[in-house]
Amino acid sequence: MEYILIIISTVFVNNIVLTQFLGICPFLGVSKRISTAIGMGAAVIFVLVLATIVTWLVHYHILVPLQITYLQTIFFILLIAALVQMVEIILKKVSPSLYQALGVFLPLITTNCCILGVAILTIQKEYTLLQGVTFAVGHALGFTLALALFSGIREQLELQDVPKGMQGIPVALITAGILAMAFMGFQGIV
């Protein structure tokens, strides 16, 4: 039951993009088409879970025993960047089709602050490894859901008669704000 609550709270109540405002750059930048949003979401799910596992292991098996937890952020940034590069190289050699499917999204994830944010939040909440992975999966699913909803709305807005001064980023920001308020309606569920 605890893991179900973690999933529900991370996907809906504490959505990483819409309530915690982490990962806004890819949220606004890759949300013009549903296909690209789903591709980015799949890449985020893959990397977020992998990064959470690696950062959790490094924190509890290297940083804590050596008493250098104050270097956590620097270590995590370097780990995430190295992990994404390593995954990219391995996928290119082992599974060219998956590498092709993830495409440009894999390098973009290196600079996605929600990856670092979830890794740090997992440690701050003192989750076990399994709870941390569940936390990461929930946030990745929440990111993907928000991105897919937002890109669907943006595609529909392109078909509407939007005033010239509101076209593009202005209407996207207003839409993101309304979507964030809609997700705030889930507060109190968990």
Long-range contacts, stretch 145-148, CB < 8 angstroms, 24+ apart? 145/11, 145/15, 146/15, 146/16, 146/17, 146/18, 146/27, 146/179, 146/183, 147/17, 147/26, 147/27, 147/30, 147/31, 147/37, 147/40, 147/41, 148/34, 148/37, 148/38, 148/41
User: CA–CA separation, 117 vs 134, rounded Å?
Assistant: 15
Name the residue with higher pLDDT: 167 or 56.
56
Categorize the per-residue pLDDT at 149 as very low, low, confident or very high, splitting at 50, 70 and 90: very high
Digit-coded pLDDT (tens) for 109-134? 777 788 999 999 999 999 999 999 99
Q: What pLDDT is attached to residue 34?
A: 86
Q: Tell me the whole-structure pTM to 2 decimals.
A: 0.87
Residue 160 dihedral angles phi and psi, to the nearest 5° = -95, 165
Q: Diameter of the chain by CA atoms? A: 60
Residue 103 dihedral angles phi and psi, to the nearest 5° = 50, -130
